[in-house]
Amino acid sequence: MTTTEWITDIALLLVVFRQLREGRLDLRSFLIPLGIVAFVAYSYLDTVPTGGNDLVLIGTLVAVGAALGIAGGVYTRIRALDGHLLIKAGAVSAALWVLGMGARMAFQLWTEHGGGAGTVARFSITHHITSDQAWVAAFVLMALTEVVTRLATIYLRSRRVPTGTATVTAAPVPGRAVRP
């Protein structure tokens, strides 16, 4: 792995670790991770191969990224305080993020330095994956999808959180009279 790859992978990990502390949900909360994955996509996504079973590989990893992203967004706490939305990544959200990022990093280290290149080559031949670019596209699009779906889930959930200062009262119990 190059220094740039290490820096971008660590930066993406730090995005969620930063959110383990509660902070304001603002434009930066969306732009920083989107900027990082846009840089990664620009740097590594030359083409999206469509030969053989390349699209099956890509689609599978994109689906995994979407599942991780949606679950990560669901397990992120969003609440209103003083007219502002606050966000805090929960343990499950952080674990899912690390799982997705860690799996990509582990695969890359295994294929480059751990003797996994031959295994991946044999798998690719057996399953009609046409090139190493299919693997690159699959993992980059997985990361992009994980980030975008997590942010989209957080955004959609944030739209449902009332930010006003209205007093919240308990709902009446069915069958009981409500007294003023």
pLDDT of residue 174: 52
Does residue 134 register a pLDDT over 50?
yes
For residue range 35-45, what is the model confidence (pLDDT) as tens digits? 988 988 998 89
Taking a C-beta distance cutoff of 8 angstroms, is the pair 130, 47 a contact?
Answer: no
pTM, rounded to two decimals: 0.82
Does residue 179 register a pLDDT over 50?
no
pLDDT category of residue 67 using cuts at 50, 70 and 90: very high
Tokens of 77: 């706490």
Tokens of 119: 């295994």
pLDDT of residue 11: 80
